[in-house]
A = this chain, B = another copy of it.
Amino acid sequence: MAPILLNCMGNEHKDYIDESPVHVKNPNLFTMEEDILYHFSLGTKTHNLPEMFGDIKFVCVGGSANRMKSFAQFIHKELALPGNSDDILDICEGTDRYCMYKVGPVLSISHGMGVPSISIMLHELIKLLHHAQCRDVVLFRLGTSGGVGLPAGTVVITDKAVDYSFQAKFEQVVLGKVIIRSTELDEGVSSELLKYSKEIPNLPTVIGNTMCTHDFYEGQGRLDGALCSFSHEEKLEYLRKAYDAGVRNIEMESTVFAAMCKVCGIKAAVICVALLNRFEGDQITSSHDVLVEYQQRPQILVSYFIKKRLGLIA
């Protein structure tokens, strides 16, 4: 097992010349003297990005900084890497916008909440992977969500990321004009994840559509925001329509995540745990310990995937 892992962890990224590179879709980047990744507090002149990141094969992103630190420590133990997992340093310590941890071939990054926040992170991550000459990278979003007709604790692997009208598209404004991008994710990675979920005990998992909203309260039909102009019955009617359109969970980042990964040729998957069943309520009332255990479920599944890919599990 070790040689395979070491191969991924060294600076041997030139070995992967036949594998799929990360595409930036911006010719300007090839002529810029310096590129400052402002929200990471990294840059091409101040940091040797190929040396720091050239061996990255798996990037795992999630909203919460604490959760992505826990994931880094968890994957460190799972991959049985040398050193103390408590000593892992935040590579973005020069800023508080995001945090970033590197554990062998795995990068763990927080992205905050909502499409704009994750979109800034993705622009700079994709540029980072490009500058570092990474190849054949798989990108996972590990998140929390509201379940639609599913019990709390269920893990949802996203089939299609859909908008508030249940369409698999993302609207991007470019210089004042709206353009539409596809939100298709990688079917191969999703199927592989679903297959592995059946090999892990106590990991109830489904595949379904994920609705991405720009708001946690009115946009998701919650009755408990500072503003609410609709009835309980109207809320349930909207959730029923979502369910009928194949939606199994609701979160706030999947459409832009899918859209940007697709444009840049990066295989990507979204794996979110449902913290509640939205047909039954709006408030997240489970205890801290229960919520922590739920949030570990996507991490366990993605860790299993990574270990399979690295040959650490037969």
Contact = CB atoms under 8 A, between A and B. Distances in A.
A113 interface: yes
A26 B117 contact: no
Interface string A190-229: 0000000000000000000000011111110101111111
A219 B172 contact: yes
Contacts of A122: 226
Contact of A123 (B65, B97, B226, B283): B226
B172 A96 contact: no
B227 A25 contact: yes
Nearest to A165: B176
Contacts of A142: none
A36 B252 contact: no
Interface stretch (A12-20, A27-35, A50-58, A298-306): A27-35
Which of A24, A113, A164, A230 is packed against the most chain B CB atoms within 10 Å? A113
A165 B120 CA distance: 21
Interface in A103-117: 112-117
A285 interface: yes
Contacts of A223: 26, 28
A8 to B, nearest CB: 24
Interface string A65-108: 11000000000000000000000000000001100000000000
Nearest to A130: B226
A120 B127 contact: no
Interface stretch (A132-140, A152-160, A233-241): A233-241
A117 B119 contact: no
A263 interface: yes
A175 interface: yes
A38 B38 CA distance: 30
B238 A176 contact: yes
19 contacts: A28-B223, A28-B224, A28-B228, A32-B224, A34-B283, A36-B283, A36-B285, A38-B283, A64-B96, A112-B117, A116-B116, A116-B216, A120-B216, A120-B217, A124-B226, A174-B230, A176-B241, A226-B260, A226-B264
Interface of A: 24-29, 32, 34-36, 38-39, 63-66, 96-97, 112-117, 119-120, 122-124, 126-127, 130, 164-165, 172-176, 213-219, 221, 223-230, 234-235, 238, 241, 252, 260, 263-264, 283-285
Closest 9 CB pairs of A and B: A114-B116, A126-B226, A26-B228, A175-B238, A66-B96, A123-B225, A113-B117, A123-B226, A112-B112
